[in-house]
Structure 1
Amino acid sequence: MTEPKRIRTRGLRKKLESWIRGRLWAQVITALVLGAGLGFLIGPDTGLVSAEAADLAGRWLALPGGLFLNLIQMVLMPLVAASIVLGLAAGASDPEKLRRLGGRLALFITGTTLFAAALGATLALWVRPGLSVITNPMPLPRLRPDPASLTDPLTEAAARAPDLIARIVPSNPLGAAANSEMLAIVVFSIFVGLAFVASSNQARLAPLKQLFEAMLEVSMTVVKWAMHITPLAVFGLTAQLVARMGVSAISTLAAYVGLVLGGLALLLMLYVVLVMVLGRMGPVTFLKAIFPVQLLAFSTSSSAAVMPLSMETARNRLGTPGDTASFIIPLAATMNMAGTALYQAIAVIFVAQVAGVQLSLPEVSLIVLSLVAASIGAPGAPGVSIAILSGMLASFGIPAAGLVFVIGVDRLLDMSRTVVNVTGDLAACRILSRNQEETETGG
């Protein structure tokens, strides 16, 4: 290579390094590609490394990812509490505005989650992905008699409702925080914030407000430290995922994986259309604005982990007022789990099909309604959906023989549905802030 060509190549390399260094999303994409490549090399598809060595290497590679997630989780409770309290306190001058915003957010979450669960059930009943992996030609018996022959499911659900509603209000907020019960902390923070709004002496509450502001500042500082290791975390987590699963494991469940990804894509399109129609923002502009958040969500599989970046994106790229973003994002990250509801609806029916269990239409309807309730308030952390799914199978007496297939590819699908969940959070920010703006201006 001649000297001029060498100089040009060196200059292009420096420009590329400088460009990547200044863009977190570019670093994450690079880490994803490199991690996937390394995971493939040490995974079961190549046979270059023994399974034991690959597992050990994967554990060490995932260490930065564990540190990243633990740093976020360490400050997540004070971050959520401070954000909600300050967001509500900012509305003390206009309680009516706060009431409208909360009501519209509840309507948005309930409507989209119900649609997602119904869509997932419909797709699973139509495509029937469980038939492609049936290992036992004879149907397995239900684990308990058909619920319809015992008690009306709707009556049973109505009998449980009072206890479930009462448990929403935490009797011990400190204990809830110690047990990482996010929904309890959200409810506690809402009550504290509403007390700010209802107080007739705002001056006396100033010191407490300053305390929450200090909590938020400290939490965000720790989050900024955590963001420095994001590329390493993404690289290690991706390498571990591919090394454990292998490409061949995904191909054997192509119908199930493809159906879930297709359903999530439809739900993502719904959010984009809602933002275009109700939020008055073009699809390309919206997707470009939220792409860094989606990328981090895909890498970490945690809505909670991207919460700080979501709030920053809502404020700076989607035109959401700061107090509105501080109110919506923590609530949505905890309760807005439409992607999870869609996935679980498909997974429950998939496992039932693998076991040869025929679900009646009333049972499918009850599954959809149950998933809406279970998904709203589910912790935004990796692996939570499997726990909810196991409970759902037990509730309907469905043998868990097919659950092994679901667990095998859960990490990949967890990453994908988290992208859809955070997209819904940011869509809610854009739509509700725009709607609020039109209400105030009379437009």
Structure 2
Amino acid sequence: MKDLLKKLWFQVIIGMFLGVGIGLLLSPTAFALISKDLAFAIAPWVALVGNIFLALIQMIVIPLVMSSIILGITSAEDTQTLKVLGLKIAPYFVFTTITAVTIGICITYFIQPGNFVSADIINQISSTQVVLKETSVLKDISIPDMIVDLIPVNSVKERLDGNILAFVILSIFIGVALMSMKEDDAKPLKDLAKSLQAFSLTVVSWAMKLAPYAVFGLLCNITIKIGFDAISSMSMYVFTVILGLLALLCFYLIIVYLSSNIKPLDFLKRIREVQLMAFSTSSSAAVMPLSMKTAEEELNIPSPISKFVIPLGATINMDGTALYQVSAAIFLTQLFGIDLDLIDVVILAVTTVGASIGAPSTPGVGIIILATILQGLGVPPDGVALILGVDRILDMCRTTINVTGDLTATIVMKKLVSLSSNSEELARKISDKS
């Protein structure tokens, strides 16, 4: 038992149960052992450690992503290997994202969770309105201008805007440029990237020590505020999203089996620690080091593939988030009686795919992106407040699927590399670097 208590994943589970349990005891809508004012005054202090944990992850996410991508690219050592990796993984990411959005649309239209919410809940929306300060209005610009805007001209502005995709592109430029330079000229920047990654991993290790307390505080805080009333009233919506995520998980398991002959239960057993950490932290970035370690040690993925695919996937491969966004958008249109024709649904799907790519891999961004998507559908802004109460729960679930998708991508990439036209030479190069 002592050895079990030392394991981080077990400590996180204890924190989850204690957080929900104590939150229910203090919640005014549950057992209400204390007054509402006192409970709401205590909640922010309970969440303090959790918010510090999230702040540490948000602080380190950009240097971690940039250094990991740069090192992943330069580990290939030649442009041919990089070309094969890049040209194969990009279509795969787009394919799985489109699949996730399609699953979300089909399941939400089949169940129609918007028809299960009572009128009383809708009437209460205005009283629980939440101002999303980070939501930005969609710019009225052309597609060519949007493509040009991907190039990070002003890195400080992109950091303030939370545009991590810009830093991914910058990292790719740096990595490819380093491969084209003389070794003596490239070595200082490569060493800097290694040092930056080591620094980032050190901060992540500090943050992970706070994880059990962070999980306890964050779950206790949200449970105090919403109890189970909001969850029960939105149960069909929550069920719909989780069912869609489970369908997406089954899709991943099929891909894994076809790519590697790893049985579904065996695969889940190998990655369970990563899934648990993703579920508890709601952050793909927080578990990125653990994801790379698991890919290499448990799934036998060569280091160049894991270092290239996982940081990239943590930034642009947000299948769980994409499914959630399209399901939530359709749910709210059903709730407010807004009819979408086929063209509207297609536009929604395309917008969701685009919005999920490059979304920051930190907690809570899904609700921000969703608010932006809803602007074009005629859904009242107050509608976001309705789903905000259960967003934390769904955020934990979709992040778990996101990291599962990243690990699945490493297996697919390993298989695709072995099937390439120059597979023997390429496989030898990658194996030598692992």
1:66 is aligned to 51
1:49 is aligned to 34
Shift of 1:198: 2.2
Shift of 1:402: 3.5
RMSD: 2.2
Shift of 1:417: 0.7
Contact kept in structure 2, 1:354 and 1:401, CA below 8 Å: no
The one-letter code matched in structure 1 to 2:357 is I
Instruction: Name the larger-Rg structure.
Output: 1
- String of CA shifts for 1:374-418, please: whole Å, max 9, x gaps: 111111122212222112121122334533321121111111111
1:143 is aligned to none
2-structure distance, mates of 1:324, 1:282: 22
2-structure distance, mates of 1:297, 1:68: 14
Identity of aligned residues (%): 41
CA separation of 1:382 and 1:361: change in aligned 2, threshold 3 A: same
2:301 to 281, 303, 320: 320
2:172 to 190, 193, 196: 190
2-structure distance, mates of 1:19, 1:401: 45
2-structure distance, mates of 1:289, 1:56: 42
Alignment of 1:131-280 (within 5 A): 131-133=115-117, 135=119, 160-177=142-159, 179-199=161-181, 201-280=182-261
1:145 is aligned to none
2-structure distance, mates of 1:19, 1:408: 33
Structure 1 moving runs of 4+ over 6 Å: 156-159
* Deviates further, 126-135 or 259-268: 126-135
Contact kept in structure 2, 1:238 and 1:299, CA below 8 Å: no
Shift of 1:372: 0.5
- String of CA shifts for 1:299-355, please: whole Å, max 9, x gaps: 121112221221221222121222221111111011011111111111111111111
Shift of 1:247: 1.6
Unaligned runs of 5+ in 1: 1-15, 139-155
2-structure distance, mates of 1:19, 1:407: 35
2-structure distance, mates of 1:49, 1:58: 12
Q: Kindly indicate whether residue 82 of structure 2 is the aligned counterpart of residue 98 of structure 1.
A: yes
Shift of 1:57: 2.2
1-structure distance, mates of 2:278, 2:161: 23
1-structure distance, mates of 2:141, 2:386: 34
1:383 is aligned to 364
Q: Kindly indicate whether residue 111 of structure 2 is the aligned counterpart of residue 130 of structure 1.
A: no
Contact kept in structure 2, 1:112 and 1:338, CA below 8 Å: yes
2:312 is aligned to 331
Q: Kindly indicate whether residue 351 of structure 2 is the aligned counterpart of residue 366 of structure 1.
A: no
SS in 2 for 1:318: coil
SS in 2 for 1:379: coil
Contact kept in structure 1, 2:16 and 2:219, CA below 8 Å: yes
* Deviates further, 238-247 or 344-353: 238-247
Q: TM-score, normalised by structure 1?
A: 0.87
Contact kept in structure 1, 2:338 and 2:378, CA below 8 Å: no
1-structure distance, mates of 2:382, 2:185: 60
- String of CA shifts for 1:210-249, please: whole Å, max 9, x gaps: 1111111121112112211111111111211222221222
Q: Kindly indicate whether residue 262 of structure 2 is the aligned counterpart of residue 281 of structure 1.
A: yes
2-structure distance, mates of 1:191, 1:121: 36
SS in 2 for 1:409: helix
SS in 1 for 2:294: helix
The one-letter code matched in structure 1 to 2:68 is S
1:418 to 399, 417, 423: 399
2-structure distance, mates of 1:233, 1:47: 23
Contact kept in structure 2, 1:334 and 1:378, CA below 8 Å: yes
The total of aligned residue pairs comes to 408
Unaligned runs of 5+ in 2: 123-137, 428-434
The one-letter code matched in structure 2 to 1:162 is P
Alignment of 1:305-316 (within 5 A): 305-316=286-297
- String of CA shifts for 1:199-220, please: whole Å, max 9, x gaps: 2x22221122111111111211
1:116 is aligned to 100
Q: Kindly indicate whether residue 11 of structure 2 is the aligned counterpart of residue 30 of structure 1.
A: no
Q: TM-score, normalised by structure 2?
A: 0.89
* Deviates further, 186-195 or 32-41: 32-41
